[in-house]
Amino acid sequence: SQQGEEDPQALSIQEGENATMNCSYKTSINNLQWYRQNSGRGLVHLILIRSNEREKHSGRLRVTLDTSKKSSSLLITASRAADTASYFCATGGGATNKLIFGTGTLLAVQP
Amino acid sequence: GAGVSQSPSNKVTEKGKDVELRCDPISGHTALYWYRQSLGQGLEFLIYFQGNSAPDKSGLPSDRFSAERTGGSVSTLTIQRTQQEDSAVYLCASSLYVTEKETQYFGPGTRLLVL
């Protein structure tokens, strides 16, 4: 399978705690993107990190990228119940930038 | 501005029937992608359009699947002689260009159920 792997598969935390999700991939990439999905429908784009970047921040989100290890992590700080969702990493590569998705992490934030 | 829209939201069909799924990308976006999300396969790429041409169809699972894009805008994904394994959420995405910094914006998806 070309899919990337994400761990953990599921994560349950309390409101206010930090959540860390990891992603590993197999191919060379142009960029790596993180998406959130609620209720199995549309994907909401969270953050994009380019292959020549190592770290990026957006609000409560922090993403790191290690191309030598073909891995990335997403940190959500001070989590809220509204952060409950599935989170997917996706690598964009090649001339078309088509996305190869990870298996996803189901995050549950308990109020 | 308006995001990516897809129709119908849900489609129930009988095995063997043909279905058409529509995608309206964000205005001005040159690149359009179709993906599929199913329980067994996760999220997988189907086809990519640049303008009206499809230089990458490598993800289409069989020759029952086809897609077209007209006017550099609307795209239609057609599944002929549907099978139960075609049941999935079909997602469309668009991006302004195809560079290493381009975000793909997704529509809400069409949930297809083949009985």
The pLDDT value recorded for residue A1 is 47
Contact B107 A95 (CB under 8 A): no
Higher pLDDT, A20 or B101: A20
**For residues A105-109, average pLDDT:** 96
Q: Does B109 have pLDDT greater than 80? A: yes
For testing the chain B interface, which of A44, A63, A98, A100 should be mutated: the one with the most B CBs within 10 Å?
Answer: A98
**For residues B42-54, average pLDDT:** 93
**For residues B89-102, average pLDDT:** 89
What would the pLDDT profile of A23-51 be if each residue is shown by its tens digit?
999 988 889 999 999 876 789 999 999 99
Q: Does B50 have pLDDT greater than 90? A: yes
Q: Give CA torsion, residues B84, B85, B87, B93, to 10 deg.
A: -150
Burial B61-91 (b: 16+ CB within 10 A, else e): eeeebebebeebbebebebeebeeebbbbbb
The pLDDT value recorded for residue A40 is 64
Question: With an 8 Å Cβ cutoff, is A27 touching chain B?
Answer: no
Q: Does A2 have pLDDT greater than 60? A: no
The pLDDT value recorded for residue A80 is 97
C-alpha to C-alpha distances, B22 to A51, B1, B78, nearest whole angstrom? 33, 19, 9
Residues in B closer than 8 angstroms to A42, CB to CB, are 91, 106-109
**For residues A15-24, average pLDDT:** 96
Higher pLDDT, B97 or A80: A80
CA distance B80 to chain A (A): 24
| Contact indicator for A99, B45 with CB cutoff of 8 Å | yes
CA distance B101 to chain A (A): 6
| Contact indicator for A30, A92 with CB cutoff of 8 Å | yes
Which residue, among B5, B15, B12, has the nearest Cα to B85 in the 3D structure?
B15
Question: With an 8 Å Cβ cutoff, is B104 touching chain A?
Answer: yes
Beta-sheet pairing, B53-56 with B42-50: antiparallel
DSSP A82: G
Which residue, among A42, A44, A87, has the nearest Cα to B109 in the 3D structure?
A42
